[in-house]
Structure 1
């Protein structure tokens, strides 16, 4: 996920009116549940290791876990206590330490960060005051933009869950024995009968949203897109399929690679996805401190955009565009509507998708039949973030809200869009319109892909 920063001068109000059917008290309960769920996960990720591991930097790509912990509290203080509640600042002197734009991740261990016990106390103190503000905040349609429909509370819950995902990446990068455990995801029920691809017919659909109350600025506004007919993989590309690409010389043949990707392969000597290694003729992977055989029927994980693009070229296919991905995931041809999720408008349940760190791995392809889209494609939500071919760009009519550094500064050809979430994403930060983005070289993220072809 991308970094974020504290509020600067607020942008123009880009938050649309919320639907009249939204009940402020239901939204208040939803916000409370989202905040408590996020904090419980933060505690799991930080209480599972000793203080020395919280303050260590396990990779220059990631912050020390203790930085994320205090940053979560600092963002909550700035937005909920100060901006919404009008409260006096608790710790204004630490704002700069936890400004993600001011200090790159590689430099954060050298900062005078709060120690683990102090960081926990600070985040807890902020949370207690934030819940008092939530209890009294007006969430009606005519309220201030940050309060309307509980947007600021939803934004902060999403922010914390995004950093929880970041901390889970750090757990994957750390060495030593496993600190986290989770049961395996459910087995597929009909994987053998699924077609290899689905046809998504040509035509317009509504992309993005103007109605989802907690949607972030880059998901807005809803707009019509015309999409030509295309075929899309029914499931994400599996580890077994990716091994066939590797065995056919995928990492040694420049024909399949974008020039920058081929440079990356040669510079770093890449031969397989991150965390894979070969031993006694078998591919193994390290997953949260456990070494295990690579499962053939799981979606491939920890591949960069360049690797996904190379595989697609080798297979005679391509990565889907962001518009194609969203149409396959949301468009219901029977009604002409765009759904909130592939299965409909209801929130995800454990039967729909692999979300929320319930499992520490993707489910095998064919799992979650209840989560399939009208197009027939499955596992579009959860399991692995899916690279698309699209650059991260604003939608027509985009307005930065509540600060331009969340999305606006990242727009352009340098970042590629990922869709759908992963097993590491909570449902509050994952929906059919949610847009993630990252540099095309990134491999430590929980990224996979599926491929497409023109009809």
Structure 2
């Protein structure tokens, strides 16, 4: 029998990829444990909001997805706990009903995810990370790392909703004295929308395709607390003409008077509750925890509009001076502490202008990190979309009542954040770390 050894360069590339996979999986698990080890068992099994699962459900669900895709599918190994597959199938049980299920208790859940991860390390070591689409380039491992980090961000949102003493800590965010203001004109023309070279891009980011847009202007920074407060002070929540019919009905039904977690004291000063700590409202911080309807009403009040998803991505990726479509606003390098507020490094958005190294060449700031940004676009497939590796990741959501969010938040890990990454949610949702920036059409002769 003849054994064909891969070229040395291929072996080196495979080892580098294996190290990269090990790093993102380890980082995700460390964060998962941070979010679940900081509270007692009673808090882990409690449902802190009907919008969210008990944290112990998220913990075991993370392990179950890892077992399904990496242990059983990629590795071809026997099941660890086939008996719990249905319990942790997100499509079989609504979040509001999950506390009533016979879930694994915290000790069982921790033991389960640990056993699964031990098996995954063996699968990773034995895989050449080439061949079928699911494994080529380590896709399945990257998908699972992103899945865990997405649930970590969901668990972080659950922590924001829980009551009681603060349990999470992080360094303070950067503060600026002179915030970024103004807008940037993006010239008319084509750009490449969607992922073509990202090996771990998910199915809804594909296929890459050319899109032609007219010129438009986009704000250089997300809308800040100070700017949003002016909307409130001008009666923004009391003026139905600023709201769509659906938006106004929701504002009345939900009793919206300010972003979620804002509180006004008897003296009229505004405060914001941040993971159990009441802090004075910071004027230059991007507004966070607003729903799509609130963003739309603010845009109408300001005489502008929300950007389309394509406009947002062109502003974030396309360099009109060179014609290049880059991975990130600042270029192709991975995010770091100088370019973006990501990965739960801090526990809130940084002031606008805090990351000048992360701006686009044209001067649009903080498109990545800090707050997810609502766009005006529905969540629909790109031309030529193909579901992979399962319909339930994206396809079943197309055509529903969802709006696209872009850019990631302070709670989004870099592995699950890029200029092509698409998030989506119902327009009434605001427990997520959502903000927005504005855009407008160009006036005749402007931008020529």
TM-score, normalised by the number of residues in structure 2: 0.95
1:302 aligns to 2:289 (yes or no): yes
Gaps of 5+ in 1: 1-19
Q: Secondary structure at the match of 1:127?
A: helix
Q: Name the CA shift for 1:22/1:355 in 2 (closer, same or farther; >3 Å).
A: farther
Q: Secondary structure at the match of 1:59?
A: coil
Give the superposed CA RMSD.
Answer: 1.3
Cα distance in 1 for residues equivalent to 2:287 and 2:154: 19
Aligned 8 A contact 1:56 1:64 in 2: yes
Aligned 8 A contact 1:168 1:424 in 2: yes
Q: How far off its partner does 1:128 sit? A: 0.6
| Aligned pair partner of 1:108 in 86, 98, 101 | 98
| Aligned pair partner of 2:50 in 41, 56, 60 | 60
Q: Where do 1:75-90 residues align within 5 Å?
A: 75-90=65-80
Partner of 1:439: 426
Partner of 1:426: 413
Mean alpha-carbon deviation: is it higher for 45-54 or for 178-187? 178-187
Partner of 2:154: 166
Partner of 2:445: none
Cα distance in 2 for residues equivalent to 1:206 and 1:413: 26
Aligned 8 A contact 2:285 2:351 in 1: yes
Q: Where do 1:120-139 residues align within 5 Å?
A: 120-139=110-129
Aligned 8 A contact 2:262 2:271 in 1: yes
Aligned 8 A contact 1:188 1:368 in 2: no
Aligned 8 A contact 1:200 1:230 in 2: yes
Cα distance in 2 for residues equivalent to 1:304 and 1:418: 11
Partner of 2:261: 275
Bigger relative contact order, structure 1 or 2, given CA contacts below 8 A and separation 6+? 1
Residues 97-141 of structure 1: per-residue CA shift (max 9 Å, x gap): 00000000000000000000110000000001001101111113x
Aligned length: 432
Aligned 8 A contact 2:181 2:221 in 1: no
| Aligned pair partner of 2:206 in 209, 214, 220 | 220
Q: How far off its partner does 1:428 sit? A: 0.1
Q: Where do 1:51-450 residues align within 5 Å?
A: 51-140=41-130, 143-188=131-176, 191-192=178-179, 194-279=180-265, 280-450=267-437
Cα distance in 2 for residues equivalent to 1:197 and 1:332: 16
Cα distance in 1 for residues equivalent to 2:111 and 2:208: 41
Gaps of 5+ in 2: 1-9, 443-448
Cα distance in 1 for residues equivalent to 2:17 and 2:321: 30
Q: Name the CA shift for 1:195/1:288 in 2 (closer, same or farther; >3 Å).
A: closer
Residues 72-94 of structure 1: per-residue CA shift (max 9 Å, x gap): 00000000000100001110000
Cα distance in 2 for residues equivalent to 1:261 and 1:185: 33
Q: How far off its partner does 1:195 sit? A: 4.4
Aligned 8 A contact 2:134 2:140 in 1: yes
Residues 324-381 of structure 1: per-residue CA shift (max 9 Å, x gap): 0000000012321210000111111110100000000000011110000123100000
Aligned 8 A contact 2:342 2:411 in 1: yes
Q: Secondary structure at the match of 2:272?
A: strand
Cα distance in 2 for residues equivalent to 1:205 and 1:443: 31
